[in-house]
Structure 1
Amino acid sequence: MEFRLELVFVPVSDVDRAKTFYADQVGFHVDHDQTVSDDLRFVQLTAPGSACSIAIGTGLIDTVPGSLKGLQVVVDDADAAREFLIERGVEASPVQDLAWGRFTGFKDPDGNEWTIQQLPAWRGSAG
C-alpha cells in the first residue's frame, strides 16, 4: 500500500498576494487557479522538482493564516537556494551547518514558515 503526500493546504489571508509570492518570488509553478464562486477559490502551486504541491485559496480550510510551521523542502545546495530567494526579495535566514544537514528558511507574507534542507553527504550510505 502506498500513501503519497501530494497536497498541503497553506492558510493565507490574501490569495493573490500569496500566489504572487510563491510563483514570482519563490519560483513555484502555478498548476491551477480556479474560482468556483465568491466563497471558493483553489490555487495549486508546485515547487520545481517536487511531487507534493501546496494549495491556497478561499473556502478551503479554516486554519489561521500564518499558523503553518515546519514545511520543509530539500535542495542540493542550501547556499544557492538562499541566494536564489534573496535575489527575488525573499528574506532567507543565514545557512546553518548541523550534523543532519545545512539549513536556511523563509516565511511567506502571512508568516507561514518554511525550512530548506541540504541533506548531509552521508545520507543513504552504509556506516
Structure 2
Amino acid sequence: MDLKFELLVLPVSDADRAKAFYEAVGFRLDVDYTDNEEFRVVHFTPPGSECSIIFGDGMTTAAPGSTQGLYLIVSDIEQAHAELVARGIEVSEIFHDAGGLLHHGHDAGDVVHNGPGQERLAGLHPDRASYGCYLTFSDPDGNGWVLQEVKQRLAGR
C-alpha cells in the first residue's frame, strides 16, 4: 500500500498575512477559496514538493504558530539562504548539528544544547556532509520551518 503525505493544515491567525508571506518565500499558490465569512482555504505548494500546506479560516482549532519542525530539503543551503534573504525573509544563519543527521529544535542562537551530541554550531558542517547543514525561519505566526541540505540521500532512501 502506498501512503503519500500530501497536505498539512497550518494554524495561522491572519490568512491574508500568511498568504503574502508564503508567496514571498516562493511557494506556489494553488487555491484561494472562500465559501462564506467563516470558511476560507488557502493552499500552497513549496517548489519541487509533492506535499502542500493549507491554512485559512475555519480550518483548524490548533493555536496559530503551534506547528514546529517543518522540514524543507534543499540541495544548496548557501543558495537557499541567499535567495530567502533576497526575498525579504528573516532566516537564521546557516548552522550544523554536531551530533548527527537531524537537528532537534528551532531555537535561535549559535549554540543550543538539545542533549548529548546535539549542539547547534554556527556555520556549514565541516565536511559539508548531506543532512548536515541547516537554517530556520518562521512564518508571521511563529510556525517553524527548518531547511536541511541534502546533496546525496542515504542508501535505501
Regarding TM over 0.5, the answer is yes
Q: Distance in 1 between matches of 2:3 and 2:37?
A: 33
Q: 1:97 offset after TM fit, Å?
A: 2.7
Q: Based on CA coordinates, which of the two structures has the bigger radius of gyration?
A: 2
**Are the counterparts in 1 of residues 95 and 134 from structure 2 also a CA contact under 8 Å?**
yes
Please provide the CA RMSD for this pair: 1.4
Match of 2:150 in 1: 119
Q: Tell whether the 8 Å contact from 1:102 to 1:120 is kept in structure 2 after alignment.
A: no
Overall identity of the aligned pairs, in %:
43
- Give the equivalent residue in structure 2 for 1:27: 26
Q: CA deviation at 1:124?
A: 2.8
Return the alpha-carbon distance in structure 2 between the equivalents of residues 26 and 97 of structure 1.
22
Give the residue type in structure 2 aligned to 1:117.
Q
Structure 1 unaligned blocks of 5 or more: none
CA contact (8 A) 2:75 2:151 kept: no
Could you tell me which residue of structure 1 aligns to residue 4 of structure 2? 4
Residue 42 (structure 1) aligned with residue 73 (structure 2): no
The reply on whether 1:107 has 2:134 as its aligned counterpart is no
- Is this contact kept in 1: 2:76–2:151, CA < 8 A? no
The alpha carbon displacement at 1:89 in A equals 1.2
What SS class does the counterpart of residue 89 from structure 2 fall into?
coil
Query: How many corresponding residue pairs?
Result: 124
Q: Which residue of 1 aligns with 2:65?
A: 66
Deviation digits for residues 42-87 of structure 1, max 9, x if unmatched?
1100011000000010001011001110101100111111111111
Q: Distance in 2 between matches of 1:97 and 1:46?
A: 26
Is the counterpart of residue 94 in structure 1 residue 93 in structure 2?
yes
- Give the ranges of 4+ consecutive aligned residues of structure 1 lying more than 6 Å apart after TM superposition: none
TM (normalized to structure 2)? 0.75
CA contact (8 A) 2:70 2:146 kept: yes
> Could you list the per-position Cα deviations for residues 23-45 of structure 1 after superposition, in whole angstroms to 9, with x for gaps in the alignment?
1x200000000001111001100
Say which structure is richer in strand.
Answer: 1
Moved more, 26-35 or 96-105: 96-105
Counterpart position of 2:54: 55
1:18 to partner: Cα distance: 0.3
* Counterpart residue type for residue 68 of structure 1: T
